[in-house]
């Protein structure tokens, strides 16, 4: 086993690798960017080295700086984590040339699987079923349209260098093909510097089922499957193992196809073979096809760890240090069921817009595994993936594991940035999902129900009012809680998202109070150091830069209203579109003098590796455009101003 390794990554995966290394007695070196100076992975590692600026290209994507840090600190091996340079064969070559070990597959194996088209050709040769389609070199538009026709609509256009669903377009009919091809190619060129695409049959009722494989360069085994069908725009949201409805026959067929794929390239280390499955008639061994291989550890590897009881990072370190596979196929057992939900800083109501912010409060329940790279007080910065944590639960049955997931999501507490927590909790209670009826279209189909708002939030307002009253630290005392010398009725003014709310509080008994909000009356009893609403599950109130009320997966945040605050609505009021986050202006779609409709796209912003279209809040005429294509902007920068709305004279 190695004595010291360097982790060329950040966030939760760096922390997760450090944890296993420590258990194995291996010392760790973290690398970090200037933006991550105080990050959790830096704190957890034994030694940390700064490798450059905040932008990934100035730090986590700099192979030379990473290898220099490795040599300087005297490590024997480098673990790449996932993302960043994890599937970059040039790094593998450079690591080897520096006399170090890369904890992962060979450069050749990564190259063989690097491009979707070449990988498909290789798999076809190895006898692994691949999706019917065209994955040749001819990129002529008319020719590709012909191929789409031959394959039969609907088809999927995919960037051969693709990842994360980018450069991918579903095309329903021949009429849409040319446009879809153009936009897929543009996105691919921009994201991967390679605009080549392939065309695939779009599989009906598609399910994404992937098989975890492990090789030691000589032998290979599989560690069963994961179902990652719950996706939004081709990105995984909740993953599970095993796949619902999986049969022994189908698992056998998929497992041996995956092992065949791994052996075909003499694979060493952890890898994933992703298959697309036609689930329209249940799981059938003749209805799964190879999509691609990921030659690294996956984000969702913890569900496999939960159902096998194995530590995949331990296996990676052991195999990379020269050991043979720790277990043979027959010794790997499947136990129970596991789920993983990806908790993101993102604004679900704004179309899942990635968000930033300082985590005023972050806490996870104990009845789950929470893999995270951040703590209370940390920043979700615009530079990196806005994932906050992965919440993983395990149970003897799917039902139990899913109930545990719902509960863990309800009990997780994040304040300071918007998150998808409520959305995940709703998803974990989705009826079809509970029955195991999953496919990649489920979220899009039921989005309205999954993002529905709770009918009333008065209960939470009452809780916040009580907490505010109770808090001792309020200046000038008018709200210093009920006491012998304070009036028995008080009013607390709270502010939520710019709106003022008044909660009237009355002490009816030393241990009982009433909170009323516009006629709705709630009775609260004193319990411990806080108040509980009678007959209702406890909501947790956390005071951290305002009041955050957590109740059954919902969060409402309030500030005490300061009457001295000026009304700020005069500024924006729908006239000015502000940048919701820092980023780069990719396209400015309007110019001064132009008339726009409400909802009309104004400009395209690239932030956090994704494109976001900002739309007009109302109809009007563009008075001024403040930025142009290529401008780097900060959150809150004005982008486009509309002429003020005409005020009718009376
Ligand atoms: P990326 O590498 O960009 O993530 P993948 O090839 O892994 O792209 O595909 C991502 C997702 O797109 C899959 O999980 C699946 O939901 C969907 N998908 C891919 N290929 C097909 C197909 N042929 N038919 C239907 N859906 C597909």
Q: Does residue 524 sit within a domain? A: yes
Give the 3-state secondary structure of residue 61. Answer: coil
Tell me if 164 CB under 6 Å of ligand 1.
yes
Residues 381 and 291 placed together within one structural domain of the fold: yes
Angle CA 8–12–13, to nearest 5: 45
pLDDT over 50 (residue 426) = yes
Residues 393 and 314 placed together within one structural domain of the fold: yes
Looking at 41-184, which runs of residues are DSSP E strands? 47-52, 77-79, 101-102, 133-134, 155-159, 169-171
* Domain count for the chain: 5
Q: Return the ligand 1 atom nearest residue 116 CA.
A: 6
Range of the domain at 616: 576-642
Q: What is the DSSP letter of 123?
A: H
Residues 438 and 488 placed together within one structural domain of the fold: no
Q: Whose CA is nearest to atom 12 of ligand 1?
A: 234
* Active site (annotated) includes residue 296: yes
Within 414-539, where are the H helices?
Answer: 421-428, 431-434, 442-445, 447-450, 458-470
Residues 478 and 407 placed together within one structural domain of the fold: no
Domain CATH number, residue 382: 3.30.470.20
Please give the distance of CA 464 from its chain centroid, rounded to a whole number: 29
CA distance 133 to 200: 4
Q: Which of 155, 232, 234 to mutate to test the pocket of ligand 1 (most atoms within 8 A of CB)?
A: 234
Q: Does residue 522 sit within a domain? A: yes
Mean per-residue pLDDT over the chain, rounded: 89
**Which of the listed residues 103, 124, 159 is the one where a domain comes to its end?**
103
Q: Whose CA is nearest to atom 17 of ligand 1?
A: 234
Residues 297 and 407 placed together within one structural domain of the fold: yes
Taking the centre of ligand 1 as the mean of its atom positions, its distance from the CA of residue 158, in whole angstroms, is: 8
Residues 21 and 68 placed together within one structural domain of the fold: yes
Residue 608's nearest CA partner among 347, 371, 409 is: 347
Q: Does residue 33 sit within a domain? A: yes
Give the 3-state secondary structure of residue 649. Answer: coil
Residues 277 and 366 placed together within one structural domain of the fold: yes
Pairing of the two strands 413-415 and 387-395: unpaired
Q: Does residue 113 sit within a domain? A: no
Q: Which of 43-47, 265-269, 554-558, 561-565 is predicted with the least confidence, judged by mean pLDDT?
A: 561-565
pLDDT over 60 (residue 393) = yes
CA distance 478 to 486: 8
> pLDDT (tens digit, 9 = 90+) per residue, 169-201?
999 999 999 999 999 999 999 888 899 999 999
Residue 538's nearest CA partner among 551, 525, 520, 528 is: 551
Looking at 191-251, which runs of residues are DSSP E strands? 197-201, 206-216, 220-232, 235-241
Sorting pLDDT into bands at 50, 70 and 90, what band is 5?
A: very high
> pLDDT (tens digit, 9 = 90+) per residue, 304-360?
999 999 999 999 999 999 999 999 999 999 999 999 999 999 999 888 999 999 999
pLDDT value of residue 495: 80
Which residue has better confidence, 475 or 131? Answer: 131
Taking the centre of ligand 1 as the mean of its atom positions, its distance from the CA of residue 231, in whole angstroms, is: 10
Residues 397 and 514 placed together within one structural domain of the fold: no
> pLDDT (tens digit, 9 = 90+) per residue, 125-174?
988 999 999 999 999 999 999 999 999 999 999 999 988 788 999 999 99
Residues 424 and 310 placed together within one structural domain of the fold: yes
Taking the centre of ligand 1 as the mean of its atom positions, its distance from the CA of residue 234, in whole angstroms, is: 6
Domain CATH number, residue 537: 3.30.700
The β-bridge partners of 372 are 389
pLDDT over 70 (residue 45) = yes
Sorting pLDDT into bands at 50, 70 and 90, what band is 593?
A: very high
Query: Helix, strand, coil shares of the chain as percentages rounded to 5?
Result: 30, 35, 40
**Which of the listed residues 519, 534, 560 is the one where a domain comes to its end?**
560
Residues 349 and 408 placed together within one structural domain of the fold: yes
**Which of the listed residues 450, 471, 486 is the one where a domain comes to its end?**
450
Which residue has better confidence, 251 or 495? Answer: 251
Q: Does residue 121 sit within a domain? A: no
Tell me if 200 CB under 6 Å of ligand 1.
yes
Which residue has better confidence, 648 or 267? Answer: 267
Q: Is the pTM of this model over 0.75?
A: yes
Give the 3-state secondary structure of residue 254. Answer: helix
Q: Does residue 123 sit within a domain? A: no
Q: Does residue 437 sit within a domain? A: yes
Please give the distance of CA 77 from its chain centroid, rounded to a whole number: 28
The β-bridge partners of 163 are none
Residues 403 and 476 placed together within one structural domain of the fold: no
Domain CATH number, residue 150: 3.30.1490.20
Question: How large a percentage of the chain has pLDDT more than 90?
Answer: 69
Q: Does residue 156 sit within a domain? A: yes
Question: How large a percentage of the chain has pLDDT more than 70?
Answer: 93
pLDDT value of residue 618: 83
Tell me if 365 CB under 6 Å of ligand 1.
no
pLDDT value of residue 573: 44
CA distance 495 to 503: 11
Pairing of the two strands 4-7 and 27-33: parallel
Residues 299 and 364 placed together within one structural domain of the fold: yes
Sorting pLDDT into bands at 50, 70 and 90, what band is 471?
A: low
Q: Return the ligand 1 atom nearest residue 167 CA.
A: 3
> pLDDT (tens digit, 9 = 90+) per residue, 595-634?
999 888 898 888 766 677 788 878 899 999 999 998 888 7
Query: Average of pLDDT values for 53-81?
Result: 97
Q: Return the ligand 1 atom nearest residue 159 CA.
A: 3
């Amino acid at each position: 086993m190695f004595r010291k390794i360097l982790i060329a990554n950040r966030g939760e995966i760096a922390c997760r690798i450090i944890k296993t290394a420590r258990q194995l007695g291996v010392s760790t070196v973290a690398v970090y960017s200037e933006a991550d100076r105080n990050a959790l992975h830096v704190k957890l590692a034994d030694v940390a080295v700064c490798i450059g600026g905040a932008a990934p290209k100035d730090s986590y994507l700099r192979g030379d700086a990473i290898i220099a840090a490795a040599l300087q600190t005297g490590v024997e091996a480098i673990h790449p984590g996932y993302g960043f340079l994890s599937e970059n064969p040039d790094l593998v070559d450079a690591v080897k040339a520096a006399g170090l070990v890369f904890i992962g597959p060979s450069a050749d194996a990564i190259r063989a699987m690097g491009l979707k088209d070449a990988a498909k050709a290789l798999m076809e040769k190895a006898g692994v079923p691949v999706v019917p389609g065209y994955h040749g070199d001819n990129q002529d538009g008319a020719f590709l349209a012909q191929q789409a026709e031959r394959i039969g609509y609907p088809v999927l256009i995919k960037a051969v260098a693709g990842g994360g669903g980018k450069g991918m377009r579903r095309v329903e009919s021949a009429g849409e093909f040319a446009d879809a091809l153009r936009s897929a190619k543009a996105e691919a060129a921009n994201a991967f510097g390679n605009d080549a695409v392939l065309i695939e049959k779009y599989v009906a009722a598609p399910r994404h089922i992937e098989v975890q494989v492990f090789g030691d360069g000589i032998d290979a085994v599989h560690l069963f499957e994961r179902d990652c069908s719950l996706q939004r725009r081709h990105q995984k949201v909740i993953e599970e193992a095993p796949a619902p409805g999986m049969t022994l026959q189908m698992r056998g067929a998929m497992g041996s196809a995956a092992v065949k794929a791994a052996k075909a390239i003499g694979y060493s280390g952890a890898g994933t073979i992703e298959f697309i499955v036609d689930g329209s008639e249940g799981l059938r061994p003749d209805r799964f096809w190879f999509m691609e291989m990921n030659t690294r550890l996956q984000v969702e590897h913890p569900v496999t760890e939960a159902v096998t009881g194995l530590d995949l990072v331990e296996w990676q370190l052991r195999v990379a240090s020269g050991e043979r596979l720790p277990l043979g196929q027959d010794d790997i057992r499947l136990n129970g069921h596991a789920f993983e939900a990806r908790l993101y800083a993102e604004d679900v109501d704004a179309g899942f817009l990635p968000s930033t912010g300082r985590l005023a409060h972050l806490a996870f329940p104990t009845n789950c595994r929470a893999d995270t790279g951040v703590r209370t007080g940390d920043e979700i910065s615009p530079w990196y993936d806005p994932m906050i944590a992965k919440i993983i639960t395990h149970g003897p049955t799917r039902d139990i594991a899913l109930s545990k997931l719902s509960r863990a999501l309800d009990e997780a507490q994040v304040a300071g940035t918007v998150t998808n927590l409520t959305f995940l909790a709703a998803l974990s209670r989705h009826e079809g999902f509970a029955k195991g009826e999953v496919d990649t279209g489920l979220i899009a189909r039921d989005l309205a129900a999954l993002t529905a708002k709770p009918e009333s939030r008065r209960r939470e307002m009452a809780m916040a009012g009580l907490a505010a009253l109770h808090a001792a630290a309020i200046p000038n005392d008018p709200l210093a809680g009920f006491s012998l010398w304070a009036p028995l009725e008080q009013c607390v003014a709270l502010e939520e998202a710019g709106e003022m709310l008044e909660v009237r509080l009355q002490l009816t008994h030393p241990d009982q109070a009433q909170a009323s909000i516009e006629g709705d009356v709630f009775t609260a009893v004193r319990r411990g150091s806080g108040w509980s609403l009678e007959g209702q599950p406890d909501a947790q109130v956390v005071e951290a830069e305002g009041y955050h009320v957590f109740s059954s997966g919902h969060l409402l945040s309030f500030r005490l209203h300061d009457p001295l605050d000026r009304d700020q609505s005069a500024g924006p009021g729908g006239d000015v579109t502000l940048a919701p986050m820092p980023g780069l202006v990719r396209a400015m779609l309007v110019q001064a003098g132009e008339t726009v409709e409400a909802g009309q796209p104004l400009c395209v912003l690239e932030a956090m590796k994704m494109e976001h279209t900002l739309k007009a809040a109302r109809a009007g005429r563009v008075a001024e455009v403040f930025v142009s294509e290529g401008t780097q902007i900060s959150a809150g920068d004005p982008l486009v101003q509309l002429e003020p709305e005409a005020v009718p004279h009376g």
